[in-house]
Structure 1
């Protein structure tokens, strides 16, 4: 029996935590004993209840207040010694830094959910972000096994650092949508969407590196009145952008019924400056949505898997480029595109496939 302990800041409903959930959900519990240690109090969007339904142990170092770094480290050390795992798997910078200083007898794995760069500078400020990026590189290079969440992440490390990083692409557990036009119409009606409008859907945090403000401006200036956009999520820019909402630009805020919105939508769109391998694009693939994607490596990675045109890369800082791409994508044969997207999803991006790859990696490093 191989004992795997996941270490993460909290179980909030965000990309890295959803990856952890999908790894564990499909693990072979006859071969693995699984535990999770969280380091800070849970947020309102916690998935703690979902994790408690799994046959695992969950240990919260603190439930109601933030610990100082030294106190957090010593509590973590005591808990890890109590669990005595074979493998410690970190999924965030905080857990990466702390796990490095734990005894070497524990094999240490770290999943790189995004190549350190612009996102950290936006989250922490320019200079603090640069320090965080340096630390991320330093500690990542000293793990027993670092895993990129996409082939493009591993390629960036090879290109910029000369390091060979193992890659396991993220996976999604949403079911494949069985095309049902009547059901789609019902869902659109329940969500208050107009039948006469074709909707693009953006899903993500309303922050500068995701560029939701660019999308709102672009769709305001779009000459076609039968094309709109749904922007799901919340964040620093949401309240400012909410005032531009109309029949064609819809900002519902944070929603838990994302799958229904995906079914109701006609196209997927991203304007991100940086991504690892966004769970939202994988979720859109289960519905077979044609995609307009910003010009970044992980988006090109997905489109390169396709045997036919299922969407377009555009300059995500040029409104004219987006408008031209919209004119191009609406001419695609949606039935053929959807079939190709779902086929590629099954081949490369299911949660079962991802979990199996992680389990193989655990066994290899343990043995």
Structure 2
């Protein structure tokens, strides 16, 4: 009889992000090993089987994601669902994942937590300046206490393990890299045809971003850099969505397309000439890996695991956080040099093919989970 695995996350359809992509890959490769059920927020789209949906709040919203309601009904549902599992595998961090850690450990369930974001860096972005340091310290202390209730933490790269240990996390921490579907995310055979299919400009150079349009992703700096470009034969492509205050300026920008969340990210990547990741905080940044697998030259901030797998001027280019002027200079540099774009894109593809495999990643995670049965 297969062990009952409960997979919990703070995200679900239609919010397609790195965590959800990981869950899709994990489910696809793990159903023969576990009897899997899901506990996720109810964002209005119900897709799949063996899923328990938690009611969300109309008023509490973090980074474009409605948070779950702190209600007796929700807490009872979370506890009931956890009780039925042999093993609890949580993706986070946000309110549902943190509440689940607490009750899973309290109920004596084997609890593993996959850290997709550094919580105190994330939540710091949403505090007013006078509360910034206080919120950072509070979230850090609360997160550390909850992580220490888990049986094991999974993180995508070694430096994050060291960071957590230095900040008081005593729970066992294992490294489990994310991966990329290198067949799905690959260089275009015909970029012109892809642009026609997606109704995008055929002659302009397309500078793109994929992901949430939110404060911590800092996509505003890309819009500012776009306005500073000397070359006007360009088009800005934003593949994603976010809170109104963050997304509206892009919708009103000339020569800019905003798609909202889509299920065919690979097509949009194949239509781009340059990919930009301007984030203030990241762990792995799965969309950056996917852009590299698609053979795109990448310009990114030096955050999280990105600074490890991108080598300056070999498979990508860095720019300082919050500097639209530096970003504009880097974009201009690539626009003026097709040879450099090709070199960076080819090396980016090689990096992903060699080092980032979903099969290898998921098999490692399955071994870690089965060890706790």
Instruction: Say yes or no: TM over 0.5.
Output: yes
2:349 corresponds to which residue?
A: 342
Q: Determine which of 203, 210, 218 is the counterpart of 1:211.
A: 218
Please report how far the alpha carbon of residue 159 of structure 1 lies from its aligned counterpart in structure 2 after TM superposition.
Answer: 4.4
TM-score normalised by L of structure 1: 0.83
Cα deviation, residue 220, structure 1: 0.7
Of 229-238 and 90-99, the range deviating more from structure 2: 90-99
> Are 2:90 and 2:113, in contact at CA under 8 Å, matched by a contact in 1?
yes
Q: Is the 8 A contact 1:176 1:342 kept in 2?
A: no
Q: Are the structure 2 counterparts of residues 123 and 348 from structure 1 closer, same or farther at C-alpha, using a change threshold of 3 Å?
A: farther
1:294 CA displacement = 1.0
Q: Which blocks of at least 5 consecutive residues in structure 2 are unaligned?
A: 59-67
Decide which moves more: 271-280 or 228-237: 228-237
Is 2:174 the counterpart of 1:166? yes
Alignment match, 1:95: 97
Question: What is the aligned residue count?
Answer: 349
Change (3 A) 1:104 1:241: same
Matched, 1:74 2:98: no
Identify if the C-alpha distance between structure 1 residues 35 and 365 changes in structure 2 by more than 3 Å, giving closer, same or farther. Answer: same
1:36 corresponds to which of 16, 35, 38: 38
Structure 1: which 5+ runs fail to align? none
Of stretches 212-221 and 332-341 in structure 1, the one that deviates more from structure 2 is 332-341
Distance 1:270 1:178, change over 3 A: closer
Match for residue 51 of structure 2?
A: 58
Q: Distance in 2 between matches of 1:222 and 1:169?
A: 36
Distance 2:290 2:6 in 1: 27
2:12 equivalent in structure 1: 11
Please, what TM-score do these two structures have when normalized by structure 2?
0.82
SS state at 1:253 partner: coil
Report the equivalent of 1:313: 318
Calculate the aligned-residue CA RMSD, in Å: 2.9
Q: Matched residues in 1 for 2:141 and 2:56: separation? A: 30
Compared CA separation, residues 285 and 84, structure 1 to 2 (3 A): same
**Aligned: 1:132 with 2:134:** no
Change (3 A) 1:209 1:359: same
Other-structure match for 1:325: 330
What displacement does 1:120 show? Answer: 1.1
Structure 1 match to 2:153? 146
